[in-house]
Each structure stands twice: as structure tokens, then as C-alpha cells.
Amino acid sequence: MSTVATPAPRAAPLGDVARFAAALTSGDRVGAAAVLFIAFVVLVAVLAPVISPYDPVHTTSDTLAAPSLQHPFGTDQFGRDMLSRVIWGARIILLAPVVGISISTVIGVPLGLLAGYSTRWISAAIMRAMDVMLAFPGLLLVLIVVTIIGAGLVNVMIAIGISFVPVFARVVYGSTLAAKGQDYVLAAKAVGCSPLRIIAVHILPNVTTQIIVIASSAIGWAILTATTLNFLGFGVKLPTPDWGADLSAGKDWLSLAWWIATFPGLAITAMILASNYLGDQVASVFDPQSHWRDNATRVGMEEVS
């Protein structure tokens, strides 16, 4: 038995994509299904021009047709094929949250690093500002931002990005504080590294795990927010195919043509469920707790062997 604490094995280097993918699709079966579903949606979005049977914005005289072999998801009040609209809608549903979360990462991570590494005053100023933003319910914050900067897909992305900044800043702040207390940071200082180098070389690589976990668990919420905004008409404008906007348009025809709202609605539900599970799955791959579990079993085995 060790007299010195056994170090937790570090997460695999991030470049190791294949091993990461293998870890993501192993273990929990629901989580693995969620990862595969998201991969499927990504594929559909990329191949939309190839696989969609019709032009999603082309109106025809065949309006409000029920699902059939010719139109598996039916057509809407302008005779547009719903299957094609759902396929093309996948692009928006992926684009908005991914860009939004990227914006929050780019702003939130440096803020967190700065707050974690700098003096008390700068750190207090940044973190109190983040607390004020966190005090607003997320959706309200997004609506405020959209109201200020106006509607439109780009603005929805910016709004989502801003609303997630405090979450990233908080998490990175905490991890930075922890990393800053490590001897290797002191060692870097003793060697004569500049603060910028210490942050970039010694702290940032040691907090990337937490950033990835946060980003992947925020995706689900971002998808929900983006769809909500599109549903409310703040985001994309019809006839651009989008699940939220189609759901909104279809709700007026629910008694006559249930399929217009139902298929985009199902797609949204599945997507959000899957992305929430994706967040959990990524978190469990990186979670020190799960490593601790592996490590404990391994140490146990060492001792009897």
C-alpha cells in the first residue's frame, strides 16, 4: 500500500480521437445510443442536399397532404414536403447551439482564467459581474439580449453565447484556482515564466477537461433555447426550414393536419434528450470520479496479485 497518495491517472491526451470516440460509445447503453443518434443527425445535416427528396421551400398545390409513400411526413399548408423540411432543419438546430456555445467558450474561458489568476480586485470585479448575469434565469437573459440586439439567426447565436458566458467563467475560475495552487505553477514561476505563459502552458491545458464537460452539457440547453426562440419568432423566419419555426406554424393546423407540428416536435424532443445524454456521457468519460473508481479497482487487484 502506498504511503504517498497514488496520483489519479490523467485523462487521455485530447488528440486521441479514436479512443475518445470508443469511450463515448461504450459503457452506458442509453448514453451510447444518444451519441450515435447525434452522429446520425450530424450526418443528415451534412448530406441534406443529397438525401432530401424535395426542395424544402418549394410550394406546390399538394397542400396539407397526409403522410404517404410520396410524402412520408406529409406536406404543410403551402404544399412543402415536411420530411425535406425536417432534414434541412437539422442544419439550423446544430448550427445555432454550436456557434452559440463556441462564443461563450471564447469569452467565458479567458474571463475565468483571468479572474482565477489575477489579483483580488480584478477577480472580484469579473466574478461579481458574472454573478449578476447568473442571477437572471437563462431564458430571460437570452430574451433580453435578443430584444436589445434584435431578432435573426445570428443574433440568436450571440444571445445564447452571452447567456452561457458566466457558466463557463465560473467553472474555469474554480479550476484555475485549483491548478494555481499546484507546485508545478510555482515551479514555472521559479523558472521565470511570464504570467501569460503560466496561464497558457500550465493552467489552460489542465482545465480543458472541465471546459469540454461544461460545453457538452450546455449543448442540450442551447438547443432547447434556440428552438424556443425560433418557435417564438425571434430567430429564423419562415420559409427557412427550422424545427422550432415549423412547430410554431403547425400548431395552428393541429386539428386539420397533425403531421405538420408532430414530426418537427418529435425531432426536437429526440435531439434534446440525446444531447442531454451526450453531456452526461462526455462528463463520465472525463470525470475524475470514474477514474478514481477504475484506479481503486486496479490498486485492489495489484495488492492481491
User: Smallest gap, in angstroms, from Cβ of residue 204 to another protein?
Assistant: 9
Q: Which is nearer to another protein, 1 or 256 (CB)?
A: 1
Q: Which is nearer to another protein, 149 or 193 (CB)?
A: 193
d(Cα 22, Cα 39) in Å, to the nearest integer?
A: 13
Q: Which is nearer to another protein, 121 or 148 (CB)?
A: 121
Q: What are the residues binding another protein (CB under 8 A)?
A: 1-5, 7, 9-10, 182-184, 186-194, 197, 201-202, 205-206, 296-297, 300-305
User: Smallest gap, in angstroms, from Cβ of residue 102 to another protein?
Assistant: 22
Cβ(163)–Cβ(225) under 8 Å?
yes
Q: Which is nearer to another protein, 49 or 303 (CB)?
A: 303
User: Smallest gap, in angstroms, from Cβ of residue 210 to another protein?
Assistant: 13
User: Smallest gap, in angstroms, from Cβ of residue 6 to another protein?
Assistant: 9
User: Smallest gap, in angstroms, from Cβ of residue 20 to another protein?
Assistant: 16
Q: Which is nearer to another protein, 98 or 199 (CB)?
A: 199
Per DSSP, helices labelled H in 118-203 are 120-135, 138-149, 153-180, 183-191, 195-197
Cβ(234)–Cβ(151) under 8 Å?
yes
